Amino acid sequence: MSGSPVNEIISGYIEEVRTYIPSLKQGVESLKENPEQKEVINELHRLVHTIKGASLMVGIPGLSNIALQMENALSEIIDKKFEFNNEAGKLMAFTISRIEKYCDDILEGQVDSHAILKELIPAYRRFLGRPESEDEKAVKAVLEQVPEFEGGAESSQFEDLTDLSQESEDEIYDLPDDIDLQDMDTFSEPVKEPEQPPDIIPELLDSFYEEAKEHMEDLDSSLNILESQVKTPVDMSQAQKEIIRKIRRSVHTVKGAAAVIGLSNISSWGHAMEDFLDWLYEDTQTISPEIIELLMESGDLLAAIIASPSDPHASKCEHLKKNILKYLVIKPVLLNRSLKHLKLMSIQMSIQMI
Q: Is there a domain that residue 159 lies in?
A: no
Q: What is the mean pLDDT of the chain?
A: 80
The answer to whether residues 192 and 245 belong to one domain is: yes
Statement: residue 174 has pLDDT above 50: no
Is there a single domain that holds both residue 35 and residue 137? yes
Predicted confidence at residue 348, as pLDDT, reads 46
Q: Indicate if the pLDDT at residue 3 is higher than 60.
A: no
Mean pLDDT of 63-92: 95
Q: Are residues 180 and 135 in the same domain?
A: no
- AA letter at 173: Y
Give the range of the structural domain holding residue 184, as residue numbers without chain letter. 172-353
CA distance 210 to 90: 32
256 domain-assigned: yes
Instruction: Using pLDDT thresholds of 50, 70 and 90, give the confidence band for residue 54.
Output: confident
Q: Quick check: 127 and 82 in contact, CB under 8 A?
A: yes
**Do 104 and 190 sit in the same domain of this protein?**
no
Mean pLDDT in residue range 200-207 = 79
The answer to whether position 27 is within a domain reads yes
11 confidence band (pLDDT: 50, 70, 90): confident
Residue 162 lies in a domain: no
Query: 20 near 47, Cβ under 8 Å?
Result: yes
What pLDDT shows up at residue 341?
44
Q: Is 111 exposed, middle or buried (0-12, 13-18, 19+ CB in 10 A)?
A: buried
**Is 62 among the domain residues?**
yes
225-269, pLDDT tens digit by residue?
999 999 999 999 999 999 999 999 999 989 888 887 888 899 889
In a domain, 157, yes or no: no
Higher pLDDT, 56 or 235: 235
For the whole model, what pTM was predicted?
0.52
92: which strand partners? none
Helix (H, G, I), strand (E, B) or coil at 134: helix
In the chain, the DSSP E strands lie at 111-112, 149-150, 234-235, 286-287
Whether 294 shows a pLDDT value over 80: the answer reads yes
Angle between helices 38-57 and 5-33 (to 10 degrees): 160
The domain that contains 309 carries what CATH number?
1.20.120.160
180 & 303 share domain: yes
With pLDDT > 90 as the criterion, what percentage of the chain qualifies? 51
Give yes or no for a contact between 246 and 218, defined as CB atoms under 8 angstroms apart: yes
Helix axes 113-127, 61-78, angle to 10 degrees: 10
Q: Is the pLDDT of residue 334 over 90?
A: no
* Domain co-membership, 141 together with 221: no
Check whether residue 137 and residue 200 sit in a common domain: no
Number of domains in the chain: 2
What was the pLDDT predicted at 167? Answer: 37
The one-letter code for the residue type at 40 is: V
Q: Are residues 143 and 205 in the same domain?
A: no
| Residue 167, in any domain of the structure | no
Has residue 155 been placed in a domain?
A: no
CA 19 to chain centre: 11
Q: Give yes or no: residues 146 and 197 share one domain.
A: no
Residues 144, 178 within the same domain? no
Q: Do residue 282 and residue 331 come from a single domain?
A: yes
Q: Is the dihedral of CA 65, 71, 76, 82 positive or negative?
A: positive
| Distance of alpha carbon 306 from alpha carbon 6, whole angstroms | 23
SS3 307: helix
Q: Determine if residue 281 is left, alpha or beta; phi over 0 gives left, psi from -120 to 50 gives alpha, anything else beta.
A: alpha
The per-residue pLDDT for 318 is 87
Q: Read off the amino acid at residue 271.
A: H
The pLDDT of residue 197: 53
Same domain, 141 and 185: no
